[in-house]
Amino acid sequence: MRSIIAWFTQNHVATNLLMAFLLLGGIIIGLGFKVEIFPEVTLDKVTISVVYSGATPEEIEESIIKPIEEAVSGLSGVKEIDSTASEGLATIVVEALKDYDLSTLYDDIKSEVDRLDTLPEEAEDPIVEKITRKNQVLDLALYGQLPETYLKKQAQKIKDDLTSLPDVSLVSLSGIRDNEIHIQISEQTLRKYNLSLTEVAEKIKSYSQDLPLGRIKDPAGEILLRFKGKRYTKEDFEQIPLITQPDGSILRVKDLGQVQDTFEDEDLKVRFQGLPAVLIQVYRIGEQNTLTVAKEVKEYVAQTQKYLPPNLHLAVYDDTSKLLKDRIKLLLKNMAFGLILVVITLSLFLNFRLALWVSLGIPISFAGAFLLLPFTDISINMISLFAFIMVLGIMVDDAIVIGENIYTKHQQGLSPFKASVEGAYEVGRPVIFSVLTTLAAFFPLLLGSGQMGKFMRNIPIVVNTVLFVSLLEALFVLPCHLKGSLGKQKLTEPQLVPRLLNKIITGPYAKTLKFCLNYRYIFFSFCILLLLLAVGVVKGGLIKFTFFPKVESDFLTCNLTLPPGTPLSYTEKIVKKIEKDLLTVIARAEQNRPADSPPLLKYSLTLLG
């Protein structure tokens, strides 16, 4: 290793090229990094959902859930089945075994479910899907005292506008009911034309469907034929023919009853700031940048609000990209403070030029890590940024040790070149092993399984990559720079701070160390006592143990559960009373705050259903 250190120390051009490559390459790669809130992970689960309108949870369990569970429970790769029966809906979640191919399990489940012929005829076809975690960027609310039809139409237009933006691909709407066509026919009218309700329903069904018609073979290829007869609008359904009357005229649906274009009969209402609302969710998919998506959407919201009617508003109410921006700002802030503190500390104890070169190892190590991280499928996210912030306090240790030893060798009279080579080589092996022990401490996080394991693997990969680059920089780049720096200064007497430190080391510290060595058994017993006390404090519950600390939230949530079958109007009445009481409490709190303080209430969102 001495020869490698000597070569890099002697060849400053190669060393500077290596440093430039790490810095510039890392910056270029870093600017193109995928930025997301949380790492993209697969959940290893398949969900089966079946809608059975009007059925009770007990009926759904007996007629839907049990047959599906029996069909899929014997499949290879199934770890666990979790089923939920609610009014009108059955949900079955199948979890795959670790490392089992989810696509294979999905195909097997779909085949078994499609083969079932015992499900109720009134139930809709089962929907089998892989559970994917959508990367939500921000939420919008379109709200105003306007009819539901108008709100839905405007929300759909905004959704189309958003998906047409260059960096936005996935937008969804919630808080709105699906459209339904209602056909009302009286019994008297049916008797008049000698028809039954079942006959009318079958006629309407037969005239509103898409049908495959086969294929036409041609020398140029094959053409698939399909009849597109699905009806969607009120006018389409009104024109459906039912029977031909004796006089030759055709009786159509519009002649028999009233056709209404309305919404499905579902208990669902959303209010934002006390007004009817539609919620719009914007997601990031693929390689899209979370911050870029958020910026484009906010610009669109600002422009669109200018052209909306006075009684219609569009607002951003949940911006998760802000968490990411705050974490990036924290990283940059900590990096700046770290650089400053390293420079100040080393300047006081050693040398200003040495402090500058050691502190330069921080950006070099980060940039070098960006060069290597693309090979590990790591993105810029909340977890990896946490790892970057954590490793800030560790990464300069090896550079400080090597830099201090080189400085000491030079103080002892060695030439700058000799001091740089011997100083780095002498402590090189201990430094390498100290870094390896740190790498080993984080390695178990790579062995985690499940969703949490996939999340946590970001920490050891980032930490170990940064430490690896930091070690290379300290061993091969730093000695070359210190050789040039030491060659420009004369040997001087130690400064005031180093002299004071030497007095402490040779005085109180040496006496304490001598005492501990002379009475080592007493000192060792004291250490064991401290360890037992620490264990007792934790076991006794004086220090609480939680996976995540309890942090005060910016949101106040109130959940209200009423007995099944409670009318929506009654639920809404109670919710409005709760809203009124909350607003009264907030208004009282506002009175005790300074006049220039920001409002306590930013927005209120109410979901009924």
pLDDT value, residue 445? 84
Read off the pLDDT of residues 219-251 as tens digits, 9 standing for 90 and up: 666 676 666 667 777 788 888 888 887 877 888
Residues 31 and 78 in one domain: no
Look up residue 320 and give its DSSP letter: T
> Beta strands 89-96 and 170-174: pairing type?
unpaired
Structural tokens at position 142: 């379109």
Are 532 and 540 contacting, i.e. CB atoms less than 8 angstroms apart? Answer: no
Note whether residue 609 is domain-resident.
no
Segment 417-429 shows an average pLDDT of 88
- Domain endpoint, select from 505, 539, 573: 539
Burial of 113 (0-12, 13-18, 19+ CB in 10 A): buried
Angle 397-411/416-442 helices, nearest 10 degrees? 160
Helix (H, G, I), strand (E, B) or coil at 35: strand
Q: Is the dihedral of CA 35, 39, 44, 49 positive or negative?
A: negative
If you count them, how many residues does the chain have? 609
Note whether residue 219 is domain-resident.
no
> Beta strands 313-319 and 170-174: pairing type?
unpaired
Confidence check: pLDDT of 204 > 90: no
pLDDT value, residue 307? 86
Note whether residue 457 is domain-resident.
yes
Are 177 and 165 contacting, i.e. CB atoms less than 8 angstroms apart? Answer: no
pLDDT value, residue 529? 95
Task: For residue 225, give every residue at least 6 positions away whose Cβ sits within 8 Å of its Cβ, in sequence order, or none.
Answer: 212, 213, 214, 215, 216
Residues 126 and 187 in one domain: no
Segment 160-189 shows an average pLDDT of 84
Confidence check: pLDDT of 217 > 80: no
Structural tokens at position 500: 């004071």
Rounded Cα distance between 460 and 438, Å, is 10
Residues 120 and 8 in one domain: no
Structural tokens at position 496: 């005031």
Are 364 and 339 contacting, i.e. CB atoms less than 8 angstroms apart? Answer: no
pLDDT value, residue 225? 64
Note whether residue 140 is domain-resident.
no
Residues 107 and 31 in one domain: no
Report for 83-92, 182-191, 350-359: range of highest mean pLDDT = 83-92
Rounded Cα distance between 276 and 607, Å, is 10
Note whether residue 577 is domain-resident.
no
Structure-model confidence comparison of residues 505 and 208, the more confident one: 505
Residues 361 and 431 in one domain: yes
pLDDT value, residue 93? 92
pLDDT value, residue 273? 85
Residue closest to 325 by CA, chosen among 484, 512, 138, 538: 138
Q: How far is CA 433 from CA 200, 471, 487, 521, in A?
A: 83, 11, 30, 29
pLDDT value, residue 214? 65
- The whole-model pTM stands at 0.70
Structure-model confidence comparison of residues 208 and 476, the more confident one: 476
Residues 431 and 483 in one domain: yes
Residue closest to 173 by CA, chosen among 279, 292, 272, 64: 279
Residues 440 and 382 in one domain: yes
**Please, what is the average pLDDT of the chain?**
83
Residues 438 and 336 in one domain: yes
Read off the pLDDT of residues 432-479 as tens digits, 9 standing for 90 and up: 998 899 888 888 888 877 677 777 888 899 999 999 999 999 898 888
- Domain endpoint, select from 221, 241, 263: 263
Structure-model confidence comparison of residues 434 and 592, the more confident one: 434
3-state secondary structure 95-106: EECCCCCHHHHH
Structural tokens at position 123: 């139930």
Residues 441 and 410 in one domain: yes
Burial of 533 (0-12, 13-18, 19+ CB in 10 A): exposed
Structural tokens at position 92: 């079955």
Domain CATH number, residue 92: 3.30.70.1430
Are 45 and 103 contacting, i.e. CB atoms less than 8 angstroms apart? Answer: no
Segment 529-549 shows an average pLDDT of 81
Rounded Cα distance between 135 and 522, Å, is 58
Distance of CA 375 to the CA centre of its chain: 21
pLDDT value, residue 525? 93
Note whether residue 13 is domain-resident.
yes
Read off the pLDDT of residues 544-555 as tens digits, 9 standing for 90 and up: 776 666 767 777
Residues 245 and 362 in one domain: no
Q: What percent of the chain has pLDDT over 90?
A: 9
Structure-model confidence comparison of residues 514 and 135, the more confident one: 514
Residue closest to 240 by CA, chosen among 475, 232, 561, 248: 232
Residue closest to 88 by CA, chosen among 119, 131, 59, 113: 59
Domain CATH number, residue 389: 1.20.1640.10
Structure-model confidence comparison of residues 492 and 283, the more confident one: 283
Range of the domain at 196: 179-207+232-263
Could you tell me where the beta strands, DSSP code E, fall in 185-257? 210-218, 221-228, 241-244, 250-252
pLDDT value, residue 213? 60
Which residue do the tokens 């989810």 mark? 102
Q: How confident is the model at residue 210 (pLDDT cuts 50, 70, 90)?
A: low
Rounded Cα distance between 377 and 375, Å, is 6
Note whether residue 565 is domain-resident.
no
Q: How confident is the model at residue 54 (pLDDT cuts 50, 70, 90)?
A: confident
Segment 570-580 shows an average pLDDT of 85
Burial of 370 (0-12, 13-18, 19+ CB in 10 A): buried
Residues 349 and 494 in one domain: yes
Helix (H, G, I), strand (E, B) or coil at 309: coil
Note whether residue 21 is domain-resident.
yes
Report how many domains make up the chain. 3
Burial of 378 (0-12, 13-18, 19+ CB in 10 A): buried
> Beta strands 258-263 and 179-184: pairing type?
antiparallel
H-helix segments, 193-273: 197-206, 234-238, 253-256
Structural tokens at position 180: 């339904």
Q: Please measure the distance between the N-terminal and C-terminal CA atoms of the chain and give it in whole angstroms.
A: 70
Domain CATH number, residue 188: 3.30.2090.10
Residues 191 and 119 in one domain: no
Task: For residue 239, give every residue at least 6 positions away whose Cβ sits within 8 Å of its Cβ, in sequence order, or none.
Answer: 252, 253, 254
Q: Is the dihedral of CA 375, 394, 469, 345 positive or negative?
A: positive
Read off the pLDDT of residues 100-119 as tens digits, 9 standing for 90 and up: 888 888 888 888 888 888 88
Segment 583-594 shows an average pLDDT of 83
Read off the pLDDT of residues 245-269 as tens digits, 9 standing for 90 and up: 787 788 887 888 788 877 776 677 8
- Domain endpoint, select from 97, 132, 167: 132
